[in-house]
Structures are given as C-alpha cells and as structure tokens.
Amino acid sequence: MEKKRKVRTSPPSELEVENRKIGRILYFFGSFSSRLRHIDYDISPLLTEEEKQYLAAARGIINDVKSTALARQQQVVAKLKEERNAS
C-alpha cells in the first residue's frame, strides 16, 4: 500500500524559501565542481596539460562564485532567523 503524502496547506515561510535557495546553490555548483574535478576517464587523455589547467582554473572560479553566493544567502537566512527569534 502506498503512503499518502500530506498536502501542505500553508505557503512556505520566507526562511524556508531562502534555505531552499542555499540547497539549490550547493546542488547546482557542486555538480559543476565535481565534474571538473573528476574528469571522465575517457575524456582526460584527450586533453592537453594546458586544457587541464584551464579546467582547474574554471573550477576555482566556480568555487569562488559558489562561496560568495552561499555567503550572501546565509546572511539573508541569519537575518531572517534573528527576526523570527526577536518576535
């Protein structure tokens, strides 16, 4: 027998929405970083050392973007938590 899912009756809070955004950022950029770090075994021999260095630099840039976006989102979440706790 299949379990029935509870239907959400209230819209998600602003804090929940912002926390989901953090998850999306981590998921999206994490997949790029992982693919660039672990180049497929059949592709790696086709790349020159210079191309591999470019990919490593691209991974660094993507990680920087991920870090700044994540920090910005975490500030929003911290502010929302403070507002929630203050009320």
CA dihedral of residues 58, 64, 68, 71 (deg, nearest 10): 130
Query: Considering the entire predicted model, what is its pTM?
Result: 0.70
User: Is the confidence at residue 25, as pLDDT, over 80?
Assistant: yes
Buried-state track 32-61, b at ≥16 Cβ within 10 A, e below 16: ebeebeeeeeeeeeeeeeeeeeebeeebee
- Match 């260095």 to its residue by tokens: 53
pLDDT of residue 5: 83
Q: Could you report the per-residue pLDDT of 27-64, keeping only the tens digit for each? A: 998 888 888 888 888 888 999 999 999 999 999 999 99
Highest mean pLDDT among 22-26, 57-61, 81-85: 57-61
Going from N- to C-terminal start, the domains of the chain cover 15-86
* CB 49 within 8 Å of CB 19: no
User: Is the confidence at residue 12, as pLDDT, over 80?
Assistant: yes
Nearest CA to 83 out of 9, 18, 11, 25 is that of: 18
pLDDT of residue 7: 85
